[in-house]
Amino acid sequence: MTEPIRLLLADDQALVRGALAALLELEPDLDVVAQLGRGDEVLAAARASQAQVALLDVEMPGLDGLAVAAQLRAELPGCRSLIVTTFGRPGYLRRAMEAGASGFVVKDTPAERLADAVRRVAQGLRVVDPALAAESLASGASPLTQRETEVLRVAARGGSVDEIAGELHLSPGTVRNHLSAAIGKTGARNRADAAATAAAQGWLL
């Protein structure tokens, strides 16, 4: 009999993490060897547990799941990444693939399909939620520049023009120009609307 696939789970919600572990442990060929609530602890834990597949949430303290996927690809290529998230956003999918993740599925994926995704990723295959893949192709890449993204990210927290300027070391006039460009590119009515649209597409992480 072959050895079970060794899994690491990283999700900052303990209930979700526990539920995923319980579901996956029901499969005789899967073994959950580590569970974490922070992204910046994944690399060391994956090394120590010799995990073969890391199931990563996108939004975690310490380091987000997309950054963790890139870190694992660079420093521990024997451990493949599968993004499992509530946030099924096209921008997240695109960036997960660019970061080197082997798969991207949403948390309401049926247990059998999730287990199958883990097996396929362990075999070196790529697994992507089909509805999200179609949406990602339709929506395209983010139209925002890096600076426009940074400005919108601070604006999304409710910062004023002066606060955004102070945090990003820009002049208020430059901030207004970036906000105006971002509003135009997202087809928004105002900066709050532009930030919400960009966040919904997964462009602000």
CATH number of the domain where residue 70 is located: 3.40.50.2300
Lowest-pLDDT choice from 95-99, 104-108, 127-131, 154-158:
127-131
Confidence tier at 15 by pLDDT (50, 70, 90):
very high
For residues 100 and 177, state if they share a domain.
Answer: no
Last residue of a domain, one of 139, 163, 188: 139
**Kind and range of the H or E element at 7?**
strand 5-10
Domain that holds residue 156: 146-201
When pLDDT is cut at 50, 70 and 90, the band that residue 201 belongs to is confident
DSSP 8-state class, residue 40: G
- 154 and 92: one domain? no
Based on the fold, state whether residues 157 and 107 are members of the same structural domain.
no
Residues 170 and 108 in one domain: no
Q: What is the pLDDT of residue 134?
A: 60
The residue from 139, 157, 184 where one domain ends is 139
Per-residue pLDDT at 60: 93
Judge if 185 and 170 occupy the same domain: yes
The answer to whether residues 168 and 184 belong to one domain is yes
Q: pLDDT at position 136, please?
A: 60
How many domains, the chain? 2
Same domain as 117, residue 153:
no
What is the average pLDDT score of the chain? Answer: 87
Reported as a single tens digit per residue, the pLDDT across 130-170 is 766 666 655 666 778 888 889 988 888 888 899 999 999 99
Q: Are 148 and 182 in contact (CB under 8 A)?
A: yes
Alpha-carbon dihedral of residues 100, 106, 109, 115, nearest 10 degrees? 30
Last residue of a domain, one of 90, 107, 139: 139
Claim to verify: residue 99 and residue 154 sit in the same structural domain: no
pLDDT of 202 reads 75
Percent of the chain with pLDDT over 70: 92
Cβ-contact 46, 54 below 8 angstroms:
yes
- Is residue 115 located within the same domain as residue 41? yes
Distances (CA, A) of 147 to 122, 138, 186: 37, 24, 15
Q: Check which CATH number belongs to the domain holding 156 and give it.
A: 1.10.10.10
What is the reported pLDDT for 63?
A: 94
Q: Are residues 193 and 95 in the same domain?
A: no
Same domain, residue pair 10 and 62? yes
Per residue in 170-184, pLDDT (tens digit) is 999 899 888 888 887
Query: Are 162 and 93 members of one domain?
Result: no
Model confidence band, residue 90 (pLDDT cutoffs 50, 70, 90): low
pLDDT bucket at 13, cuts 50 / 70 / 90 = very high
